Amino acid sequence: MSPDRKARKLGFEPQDIPARGIAWSGVAYIVAVAVLVGLVTVLAATVWNLGSDSEWQNILAGGPVSDPPLLTNPSAEFDAYRRHSLKRLNGYGWIDRQRGIAHIPIEHAMRLEAERAAQ
């Protein structure tokens, strides 16, 4: 009679755990990690479109990555952006003329919404 059967017959639990189960768990873990790494690589290369193949290879190899484009004159570009935003926020204009969609000044829009909510 095997030691496990003797232990169970006497009411004890067996001391050893099956090594085969641990080995298969390890193999399953390694396969799962390999599959996930492959999926992430495919997604990064296709969906996220990280750029040219050489840049992608640099990223995988841990090499340098090209820097993002920097603003040449940040304060002037921000001022232009702010002027454009304020003009649109406080003025009238077309968003889509063919469909008849326009924008109105924010103050006028808030007044219209307040009147509509009061009804």
Three-state SS at 70: coil
Over 80: is that where the pLDDT of 22 sits? Answer: yes
**CA–CA gap between residue 105 and residue 74 (Å, rounded):** 27
| pLDDT above 70 coverage of the chain, percent | 78
Nearest to 44 by CA among 56, 55, 54: 56
Give the pLDDT of residue 86. Answer: 94
Provide the pLDDT confidence category of residue 51 given band limits of 50, 70 and 90. Answer: low
Report pTM: 0.38
CA distance 47 to 53: 14
The pLDDT value recorded for residue 21 is: 84
Which residue in this structure is represented by tokens 């935003």?
85
CA angle 31, 33, 39 (to 5 degrees): 105
Write b or e for each residue in 74-84: b if 16 or more Cβ atoms lie within 10 A of its Cβ, otherwise e.
Answer: eeeeeeeeeee
Give 53-103 pLDDT, tens digit per residue: 666 677 777 777 667 778 888 899 999 999 999 999 999 999 899 999 999
Query: What band does 48 get if pLDDT is binned at 50, 70 and 90?
Result: low
Q: How many residues does the chain have?
A: 119
Q: Which amino acid is at 20?
A: R
